[in-house]
Structure 1
Amino acid sequence: MNSNQKELIKATIPILRASGEDLTNYFYARMFREHPELRNMFNMGNQANGRQKSALANAVLAYAENIEDPSVLIGVLKGIGTKHRSLNIQPEQYKIVGTQLIASIAEVVGEAATPEILEAWTVAFYQLAKIMIDLEKGLYEENAAKPGSWNGWRKFVIKKIVEESTEIKSFYLYPEDGKEIANFHAGQFISVQVFVPELGLLQPRQYSLSSAFNPEYYRISVKKESGIAPNPSGLVSQTLHSKREGDVISISAPAGLFHLEKDSKSPLVLISGGVGLTPMLSMLETNLNALQNKKTVWIHGCRNESVHAFKEQISALKEEAEWLATFTFYDSAPNDEAFSNEIIEGRVDLHKCKEAILLEEAKFYICGPEMFIKTQYEALINLNINQENIFYEEFGPQLINLN
């Protein structure tokens, strides 16, 4: 890419800031019209709620703003590449996206999209595509080399379903072929692919693994979200909640950059909201099974007792483990008086447990809804926690950039 083309890309930044989401909205509509088969690969819930369009608009803008040195985006690109590996995205699909994106720029921007600008964006896109394809090639190769791992989709049998709360069910997934399964880092996720009758489509979703590694099965714990056609949000979780023991689903091998650091001896502070506790459970169990017994502080918030999953397990572990401290926040006070003395009423407030969490060299992990993550991150910064020791997982397309 020459210097003149870079200047042309930078000249489009004001347009992207003002109309980026209009462009991505048009792009997705055009692409799905031209390639309806891709609707089976994209999360149509995030299409309907606009999160995917916003994420793409932010990514295109960030790329334009950093066109002089795209390497500064490598952290974000690794996250996207990891998600792409879990969804089995292939190099030829970048060509489809590139063709549709350049055509969308031409049609949305109109006369301002001169042949020179379109040529610059074509070069820029395929420069980015090469970075992503090369990155993902390495991820596929690394994944394939792991014992028990696989690329693409593999069938698993739901052998056990456990109701953890009024909203959350755990699914124990065993490989249909009976062969070895891959180990994973505590905090990682798998992609699940199911057919959603209301949409007539296959749909992928990512769910955190909610237990320490077990060589027999994977466990995910899924909240049943609301959502009705034609708004697809929640339809995959509803489909999973309608499954029965013995049903078969397809999953990809474990992936994700949000996980415990290997061999780290640092204390852990695990902060979750709602179903965001799932990767934290994996971290807690892994710490327990590793016999390291690192000092761990478990902080969880949810609406009330009826939706509080795994509360008995965490409470029982607290009684046994001297290394574990727990703080539980309910939006409304519990009815069970015996349990209420363990509850703090209100939203999660880290200042109410700051004496417990200000541990030397502690690592802080946050998972939950977008506003929950932002609130807890800001609270940690206000408590003078180094941002390099704060890690967070945002469900769905990445819209938060705090570190």
Structure 2
Amino acid sequence: MIHILSQRTRDIVKSTAPVLEQHGTTITTVFYRNMFEAHPELLNIFNHANQSQGRQQTALANAVYAAAVHIDNLENILPAVVQIANKHVSLGIKPEHYPIVGKYLLGAIKEVLGDAATDEILDAWKEAYGVIADAFIGVEANMYKEAREQENGWNFFKPFIVARKVQESDIITSFYLKPADHSNVPAYQAGQYISLRVSIPGEKYTMIRQYSLSQASKPDEFRISVKREADNDPNGMVSVYLHNQVNEGDTVEVSPPAGEFVLDATKTTPVAFISGGVGITPMISMLGTVATATPERPTVFLHAARNESLAAFRADVENHATSMSNLKHQIFYATEPNGFITQEVLESYVDTTGDAYVCGPVPFMEAMIRSLRALGMKEEQIHYEFFGPAIQISE
């Protein structure tokens, strides 16, 4: 439950929405710059690539604007709070970080807006930020408690050994991870992710990245499958390090499973898994879960890859197919005729009375979701997740 603000505070905050829409990214850019100058230790937590590419600034600006728009009913932003809170818990965000963020966010509003940011406006935003921060802290406290108290659970980061390293395609490699203390791992839901924290030689700060768990839950190990990004891609530093320098027997730090993009494994109604590129990683976990838990379930597995050398998990799909009585699966290669998942393809494969799970590059996902909607699927039937800061799909 989110604490109710006074009507006057809500009116003031809501009145700032047009200004935030116009200047939001400038404000959040100034915010991050000033906060990191004063608290460089926070660079051990934040994704430097998202910072350099402006993605994190845009995501935060959108979140602040959404808070202003929905200030009369902050319950409307609770789903976003839960999604972001999962990410925060995976990164190890703590309650003491919130006052720091609040201080520099208000300072950035004042710096960018100047005299337009009156004391009345700043006081209203200070109160609103306090309420929203308390909501995050409360949600995250429950998540930390659940992660800590589940069997084999823990909080923050724990050493894991790379037990096996397996190449899945020309650009995707799987890492099988086992706890360094020889304990088992907690059960997780298909679709969840873990964070890896690494110290790369020559880099001042640790780096954290989220990776989907790419196999159905097993008691003794996690598997992640990492796409190697280009050497000159700022977002690729960790993936290149994992591919080139992390070997079997090496240690990485891992946070507990998190995330809301999960398979409802209790259902037996039709389900379709639709992925592009490395978006296959949570889908292969979901497929494996269906193969184990409900092998009779009518299932469709469609995957799009640029070419055959880049397509991962073909053997996994074939292996799961042997235990499933009602699976239709197809891999589409962009280099071949009819090599794309079109609306016509979806119409021929997908039972629109069931559920669809979609993951992949943003343009791919936008096309798939619009096509599924055009075929009559409702919002609650279509489940999707973007990798990286949250993005909205327009109608």
Pick from 100, 104, 110 the counterpart of residue 108 of structure 2: 104
5 Å-filtered alignment, 1:136-215, equals 136-197=140-201, 199-215=203-219
Paired residue for 1:330, among 329, 333, 337?
A: 333
Cross-structure match for 1:336? none
Structure 2 residues not aligned, in runs of 5+ = none
Identify the match of residue 284 of structure 1 among 284, 287, 308. Answer: 287
* 1:133 partner amino acid: I
Question: Which of 386, 392, 395 is the equivalent residue of 1:400?
Answer: 392
Q: Which amino acid aligns with 1:352?
A: V
Q: CA deviation at 1:205?
A: 0.8
Tell me if structure 2 keeps the 8 A contact 1:370–1:400: no
Question: How big is the shift at 1:324?
Answer: 1.1
The residue type paired with residue 241 of structure 1 is H
Contact 2:106–2:122, Cα closer than 8 Å, also in 1: yes
Deviations 1:158-183 (A, max 9, x none): 01000000100000001000112100
Q: C-alpha displacement at 1:312, in angstroms?
A: 3.1
> 2:119 corresponds to which letter in structure 1?
P
Normalising to structure 2: TM-score of the pair? 0.95
Query: What is residue 372 of structure 1 aligned with on the other side?
Result: 364
Aligned-pair CA distance for 1:353: 3.9
| 8 Å CA contact 1:327, 1:353 repeated in 2 | no
Amino acid at match of 1:351: E
Change (3 A) 1:104 1:272: same
Aligned residue in 1 for 2:373: 381
> Aligned residue for 1:53?
57
Q: Which amino acid aligns with 2:127?
A: V
Equivalent of 2:315, from 300, 312, 321? 312
Q: CA deviation at 1:359?
A: 4.9
Q: Helix, strand or coil: the match of 2:163?
A: strand
> Partner of 2:268 in structure 1?
265
* Number of aligned residues: 390
The sequence identity of aligned pairs, in percent, is: 39
State how far apart, in whole Å, the 2-side matches of 1:372 and 1:168 are.
19
Q: Which residue of 1 aligns with 2:344?
A: 351
Q: How big is each residue's C-alpha offset from its partner over 1:373-394, in whole Å with a ceiling of 9 and x where there is no partner?
A: 1111000000001111100011
Are residues 141 and 164 of structure 1, via their aligned partners in 2, closer, same or farther at CA, if it must alter by over 3 Å? same
Summarize deviations over 1:73-106 as a string: whole Å, max 9, x none. Answer: 1111100111111111100000100001001111
- Separation in 1, partners of 2:17, 2:195: 34
Alignment of 1:5-154 (within 5 A): 5-154=9-158
For the structure 1 residues 227 and 123, does the alpha-carbon distance in structure 2 shift closer, same or farther, using more than 3 Å as the test? farther
**Match of residue 235, structure 2, among 225, 233, 236:** 233
1:247 aligns with 2:239: no
Measured on the aligned residues, the alpha-carbon RMSD in Å equals: 1.6
1:293 is aligned to 2:296: yes
Q: Decide whether the 8 Å contact of 2:172 with 2:227 is kept in 1.
A: yes
1:12: Cα distance to partner? 1.2
3-state SS of the aligned residue for 2:325? Answer: coil
Question: What are the superposed Cα offsets for residues 261-316 of structure 1, whole Å, 9 maximum, x if unpaired?
Answer: 14111221000000000011101111112253311100100110111111233245
**Counterpart of 2:288 in structure 1: which amino acid?**
E
Secondary structure of 1:201's match?
Answer: coil
Shift of 1:201: 1.6
Change (3 A) 1:402 1:263: farther
Structure 1: which 5+ runs fail to align?
334-343
Q: Is the 8 A contact 1:46 1:233 kept in 2?
A: yes
Q: State the alpha-carbon separation in 2 of the partners of residues 377 and 294 from structure 1.
A: 22
Confirm or deny: 8 A CA contact 2:196 2:252 kept in the other structure: yes
Distance 1:293 1:235 in 2: 42
**2: distance between equivalents of 1:400 and 1:199?**
33
Query: Deviation digits for residues 4-25 of structure 1, max 9, x if unmatched?
Result: 2222212211111111111111
| Change in CA separation of 1:57 and 1:26 when aligned onto 2, cut-off 3 Å | same
Are the counterparts in 2 of residues 268 and 296 from structure 1 also a CA contact under 8 Å? Answer: yes
2:133 and 2:393 mapped to 1: Cα distance? 22
Distance of aligned partners of 1:31 and 1:22 in 2 relative to their CA distance in 1, 3 Å threshold? same
- How far the C-alpha of 1:347 sits from its partner, in A, is 2.8
Aligned-residue offset at 1:319: 6.0
Distance 2:71 2:317 in 1: 48
SS at match of 1:75: helix
d(CA) in 2 for partners of 1:107 and 1:359? 51
